[in-house]
Amino acid sequence: MSSDTASSDARASHDAGLPYLSVVVPIFDEEANIPGLYAELTAALASLGRSYEVLAIDDGSRDGSFAALSAVQARDSRWRVIRFRKNFGQTPAFTAGFDLSLGEWVATIDADLQNDPADIPALLAKAEEGYDIVSGWRVRRQDTMLTRKLPSKVANWLIATVTGVALHDYGCSLKVYHRDVVKNVRLYGELHRFIPAVASSLGIRLVEMPVNHRSRALGTSKYTGLVNTVSRTTKVFLDLLMVRFLLSYSTRPLHIFGTLGLGSSFLGVLLGFWLSYEKLFQGQTLGNRPLLTLAVLLVIVGVQFLSMGLIGELVVRTYHETQKKPIYAIRTVLQASGPGR
């Protein structure tokens, strides 16, 4: 998206009476931080000189977060509070905010005030230069090394290597997106941290900016302890496998399953020929040979992989054709004006 296009879209959004910026904030048991969050967000967003809205997603909080948010919304109509029936997690919270957002640009931030709301104007200004995503990078991260910083460094390296989208800090919630990104990326599981990688299939322009990171002053972190660290690491790894599949084979599943199937079947047939040669020309018995079982198993597994690939192709075609979902993404159309155009 060019800066000229962004400017014209922004003017159209402003003319329509819609906010220029939407800020999405997932909240889970952050009652103590809500007054400070409101004060800091209001001060930071006032400096923009642009219309804005804040979508506070109460993700099934068990404390007084909803009451505190209700009080904020009662005195500031720019805030919208969406309360979940239970705790669904960060990805559904972000998704709800994206679905309900009205702004030309969408910023995301955590409610614990470790992200600094004062960084939002700089991220937005960078986005207006022609970027679709501006991602925060917590250069001086104020977290524990063993349970937070070290696993994060390993995860960031692994994600960047597997997806080919190089970011230093995938886990930073402080980001600014163009609305075209958040309205065209569907999130499931815990894919919110992978939005830049998933959106890369749309041909987005991405940049990373250093942002301030602060120690938690109030409330309790939801991700402390070794068990939580292991759990999060496992989920990140599994989600990474899915993202890799989505980026490479979501529209051609037969390519991956077919390759595995043909490779497995080829090895099985090759072993079968070798065992047949030993039986016919060397007189060896095959009844007690584990290789015979392996050869048969490889052929069966190969056929199953091929079948999965064909079924996957049918599912993908049904998905795209019934929903009229395109397999491409257009950035700009240039054409002459005239009748029928």
CA distance 180 to 158: 27
Convert the pLDDT of each residue in 135-145 to its tens digit: 998 888 877 66
Closest CA to 300 of 275, 267, 278, 273: 267
- 269 and 243 both lie in a single domain: no
Closest CA to 110 of 78, 85, 143: 143
Helical pair 120-127 and 34-46, crossing angle rounded to 10 deg: 40
- 11 and 153 both lie in a single domain: yes
Q: The domain containing residue 284 runs over which residues?
A: 253-322
**Three-class DSSP labels, 236-282:** HHHHHHHHHHHHHHCCCHHHHHHHHHHHHHHHHHHHHHHHHHHHHHH
CA distance 180 to 98: 10
Mean pLDDT of 277-289: 83
* Residues 143, 148, 153, 157, CA torsion sign: negative
- 231 and 297 both lie in a single domain: no
- 41 and 155 both lie in a single domain: yes
Spell out the residues 6+ positions from residue 137 whose beta carbon is closer than 8 angstroms to its own: 167, 168, 169, 172, 208, 209, 210, 211
CATH number of the domain at 220, please.
Answer: 3.90.550.10
- 205 and 316 both lie in a single domain: no
Total domain count for the chain?
Answer: 2
- 164 and 302 both lie in a single domain: no
- 279 and 184 both lie in a single domain: no
Convert the pLDDT of each residue in 75-94 to its tens digit: 999 999 999 988 888 888 99
- 259 and 242 both lie in a single domain: no
- 278 and 227 both lie in a single domain: no
Q: Write out the two tokens for 26.
A: 């997932």
CA distance 136 to 188: 22
Convert the pLDDT of each residue in 167-216 to its tens digit: 888 888 899 999 999 988 877 767 788 888 888 877 889 999 999 988 88
- 39 and 79 both lie in a single domain: yes
- 56 and 191 both lie in a single domain: yes
- 189 and 284 both lie in a single domain: no
Domain end residue (candidates: 248, 270, 290)? 248
